[in-house]
Amino acid sequence: MTVRRTRVIDKWRWLVAGARRLAAAVPVLGLLVGVPVAPAAVGVAGRALACDQPGVPAAGVPWPQRMLGFERVRPVADGTGVVVAVIDTGVDASHPQLRDRVLTGVDLLTGLPGGNHACDTHGTNVAGIIAAAPTVDGVSGVAPGARILPVLVADRTASLSGSAEADPELLAAGIDWARQFGVDIINISMSFYNDNALVRNAVARAQAEGIVIVAAAGNEGGADSPNPTPYPAAYPGVIGVGAIDQSGLRDPDSGHGPYVDLVAPGVDVTVLQRGGGTWVVSGSSFAAAFVSGTVALLLSRWPDLTPEQVGQRLQATATPAAGPKDGYGAGVLSPYHAVTDQWTEASARPLPGLPSYAPPSPPSDAAARRAGLAAGVAVVAAVAVLAGAALVPRGRRRRWRPGLAPPRATSTLDDRVRPPVRLFSDLE
């Protein structure tokens, strides 16, 4: 992380400390800066929201962790020193596996600090995939050493599943805010389906400062859906991520097109739930989070990688998938290979070409008949030669006279008829 980014983060930490001191006297400020709020319904700036309820304990190690094996990378890199902005619905900083991992962000719906609280669980789901503290037999984040900066731009009225468009203006403001804060990675697990100049320009400004942007491919790719182009995943330089299931097949609802750079688990994924516990969810939103966590691993080992180099490494080390490129991109995310494979700047050398070879043309019918006749004559001649080799010597020995049959053998036994012979005398 650069010196500029470190100074900006330190400034925000100082502001957070002061806000937390005020929170003891002003309960509303406690909500805005991330102090846990007990009620299940929260009102912020006149918005009354019915918040998502806590989840359940994790039932073993989730399948994406077993498939990706990102815990094998931790002896090399764990995301330490990397800040990931999660532009979403806010993050529950009080979740046990996210404590001390969530910075104070901003709630752009109100314009006040406090993105590290959440009513909708979506942002917490995403943040947990990226940086949740590891447990012995449960959910673990890809890069538990990374820090999450929540940027709240949506509540339960905004779609994060791709079934409706997110607000491009708030999204653009969130990208700019995260850029000014000095983050290393921006995760955008939401989509809209019309090119927007505000978002396009905000993405370009962030990329110009070396920030890696990862975005979901949306969930409108099903047979009964129009598969519209998702933004910001389709913008140049953005790492677009599609979703696969446990068998490695693309989620039928996941967006597919040239904007898909690679795929990651996104079906029946176990995630952290707002208020504690876990839940099981599906969608390209969560596939994008796995990629953002892997980018955090990369940048914690090689902080000087450019966004272009990060994208190249992710695609070069992906596991090839048996499917069309517009659905799977370069293949399935491989955190271990992305972090541990050697990198070279040398240009690829082309392999020598194979010698030209022209197969013989098939013979005509007449030529085939002549060839068959010649082969038959050759076989007959060979049989005649062999027969001659066996018979001629015998004919010469007999002087070419026919041989006589050998005489009949005579028996030496007396075959004259004789009377019966009594073998035993009568006993008296």
Concatenated DSSP letters of 326-387: HHHTT-B--HHHHHHS----SPPPPPPPPPP--PPPPPPHHHHHHHHHHHHHHHHHHHHHHH
Q: Residue 109 in contact with residue 177, Cβ under 8 Å?
A: no
- Cα dihedral across residues 181, 297, 123, 132: positive or negative: negative
Residue of 52, 78, 88, 261 marked active site: 88
Identify whether the C-beta of residue 148 lies closer than 8 Å to the C-beta of residue 51.
Answer: no
How many H-runs (helices) and E-runs (strands) does the chain carry?
11, 12
Tell me the two tokens of residue 372: 């068959």
CA torsion angle 5 11 17 21 (round to 10):
-150
User: In b/e form, how buried is each residue of 73-99, taking b as 16+ CB within 10 angstroms?
Assistant: bbeebbbebbbbbbbbbbbbbbbebbe
C-alpha to C-alpha distance for 39 and 250, rounded to whole angstroms: 39
List C-alpha distances in Å: 28 to 40, 51, 115: 15, 17, 13
Residue 168: both structure tokens together? 């491009």
pLDDT digits (tens, 9 = 90+) for 177-233: 999 999 999 999 999 999 999 999 999 999 999 999 999 999 999 988 899 999 999
**How many CA atoms within 13 Å lie on the side-chain side of 77?**
23
Identify the three-state secondary structure at position 263. strand
Q: Which of 140, 254, 285, 300 is catalytic?
A: 285
Are the CB atoms for 232 and 213 separated by under 8 Å? Answer: yes
Give the gyration radius of the chain's Cα atoms: 40
- Helices 307-316 and 284-301, axial angle in degrees (round to 10): 110
Whether 117 is catalytic: no
Q: Per-residue DSSP letters for 63-101?
A: HHHHHH-GGGGTTT---TT-EEEEEES---TTSTTTTTS
Q: Which of 107, 117, 120, 122 is catalytic?
A: 122
Q: What DSSP character marks residue 128?
A: H
Percent pLDDT > 70 in the chain is: 76
> What does the angle CA 372 – CA 377 – CA 383 come to, to the nearest 5 degrees?
130
Is 122 one of the annotated active-site residues of the chain? yes
What is the structure's pLDDT at 287?
98
Q: What is the pTM of this model?
A: 0.71
Distance (Å, rounded) from C-alpha 113 to C-alpha 182?
16
Tell me the pLDDT band of 30, cut-offs 50, 70 and 90: very low
Peptide bond into 232 cis (omega under 30): yes
- Answer whether residue 383 shows pLDDT above 50: yes
Lowest-confidence region among 11-25, 209-223, 318-332:
11-25
Kindly state the helix (H) or strand (E) to which residue 279 belongs, with its residue range.
strand 278-281
In the chain, the percentage of residues whose pLDDT exceeds 90 is 54
CA atoms of 176 and 145, how far apart (whole Å): 24
Q: Is 221 left (phi over 0), alpha (psi -120 to 50) or beta?
A: alpha
Domains and CATH numbers, the chain: 58-340 (3.40.50.200)
Contacts of 55 (CB under 8 A, 6+ apart): 272, 273, 275, 276, 277, 278, 279
Q: What value does the mean pLDDT of the chain take?
A: 81
For residues 159 and 114, the model is more confident at 114
Task: List C-alpha distances in Å: 179 to 11, 130, 151, 211.
Answer: 15, 19, 11, 8
Closest CA to 140 of 78, 213, 53: 78
Read off the pLDDT band of 384 (50, 70, 90). confident
pLDDT in tens, 188-204: 999 999 999 999 999 99
193 secondary structure, DSSP code: S
10 an active-site residue? no
Other beta carbons within 10 angstroms of residue 237's beta carbon come to 16
- Copy the structure tokens of residue 263: 């795929």
Phi, psi of 243 (to 5 degrees): -110, 145
pLDDT tier at 363, thresholds 50, 70, 90: low
